Each structure stands twice: as C-alpha cells, then as structure tokens.
Amino acid sequence: MKDAILVVEDEQDIAELIKVHMQDLNLSVTLCNDGLEGLSLAEQNDFSLLLLDINLPGCSGLDICRKIRETKPEQAILMLTSRTSEVDRIVGLELGADDYMTKPFSIRELQARVHALLRRVHLLKNSRQTEGHETLLQHGNLKIDEKTHQVFLHQQLIDLTSTEFDLLCFMAKNPSQVFSRTQLLDHVWGYQHSGYEHTVNSHINRLRKKLTLESKQDLTNESEKTSKQPASSIIQTVFGVGYKFNPESNAL
C-alpha cells in the first residue's frame, strides 16, 4: 500500500511540482491550497506525512501544525516556507514540526527528506508489531518503551512527538556519549545538510522542557528565558561540541 501524504500549498505551480516528484517516490498525494481545508483533511484522514506551507489563506501552516500536534502527537510534519526570517523557521519547529525546508529548495533534497521521515514512520509501525524482544530502556526513573513509543519519568507519562522520542531514545542508548548536531541529524533525522542545525537545537530545547517535571523543576522562569542549564539536566550541552544524555542526572 502506498504512503499517503497531504501537501498544503497555495502556490499551484509549486504544489503540482511537488506532487509530480512525490509520485516518483510511489506516494499517494493529496493537494490542498487552503489552510482551513488542509486542517480538516489532516484531522479526518490518516496521512503518513503532512507537507505544510506557512503562508496559507484561511489558516497558516503554523496553526495547522499546532492543532494537529494536540490530537496526533506522532504525525510526521515537514514545513515549507519562503520566509527568510530565521525566527519563522524556529517557531515551526517549536510548535512540533519534525523538519523544515526553505524555498527555493532542491527537489532531490525534498525527496530525501520525505524518504527519511517516512522511513521513521515505518520503523515506528514495525516496532509496535514486533514481538518477543525487549523494548524497555530504563535509566533511573526514566522508562522508554520502544514498542508503545511511551516515555515515563517518575511514573508520569511524557507527551513526546515521534521525532522527540527518536532523539531521546537514540541518546539514551548511548549514555554519556557526546554527539554533534550533524551526527544527530544523520542518526535521528537520516540526513546531513549544512544550515539545518536549528532543527536539532529546537528539538533538544523542547525535549528538555518536557523532561523537566513541575515537581522536579529547579529552573526559575527567568533562568529559562536566558537559556541557563541546570546541573541536573538529563540532556546536557557540551559547549563547542554538541549534546549528551547524562545518566547521572539528579532528575532521573
């Protein structure tokens, strides 16, 4: 069965171009040029991947991303934007997009990104169907179940997107090992491309926030705003190098 993807893009020529090249990947493509209609389609159907432009009539791609994340946390989402502002790209990632591409983009790169995201969708489905092997990873009070894609910290369920889960799982399987942003893009997202390090930064920031339980939080709001890092952070920054999972964290 073909993977079904939804492309919400109001520039008809770009939408048709994307459709042609997605069909080259043997994908079933639904096109939509209106934000509200796109949101309705995304909510009512089971698409393997959403490709969302940011500037849309009716409802922005950012709004679609935010609303879909509330009901479908594991939905794969790729943002497409012609904006040059770095802030707009970061906002998309902060709202839960798995990845973004800035127009104009290479069709071959788009195909590679889509292939990588769909590969992870398939791995998730396969992991849930696999029986007979250990799927639980545990560090202290942090439990990661690869089969159910659930994460518990101090017995509290942590609501993660599929990408956040993959990022945490990969790092937790390699405790204390430092990974650069490029290495994380390669291992978790499945590609390396200069200029997309913000993808990693945004996901790390969101993951840290979600792993900081209110009952265990030792950051003030002010320190969060200045991006200060607690000594007990589960995901630690190694300045000038990258990030690592800290198995000795006080938060575990």
**pLDDT tens by residue, 169-225:** 999 999 999 999 999 998 998 876 666 678 899 999 999 999 986 435 443 443 444
Which pTM value belongs to this model?
Answer: 0.77
CA distance 171 to 169: 6
Q: For 4-127, which CATH class?
A: alpha beta
Q: Where are the domains of the chain?
A: 4-127, 131-245
Task: Write out pLDDT tens, residues 88-139.
Answer: 677 888 888 999 888 888 999 999 999 999 998 888 887 766 655 567 899 9
Q: Which two tokens stand for residue 90?
A: 């970061």
131-245 classified as CATH 3.40.50.620: no
Average predicted confidence (pLDDT) for the chain: 86
Instruction: Tell me the C-alpha distance between 159 and 52, whole Å.
Output: 23
The candidate with the shortest Cα–Cα distance to 98, out of 66, 81, 76, 114, is 76
Report the pLDDT value the prediction gives residue 91, as an integer from 0 to 100. Answer: 82
Strand partners, 179: 243
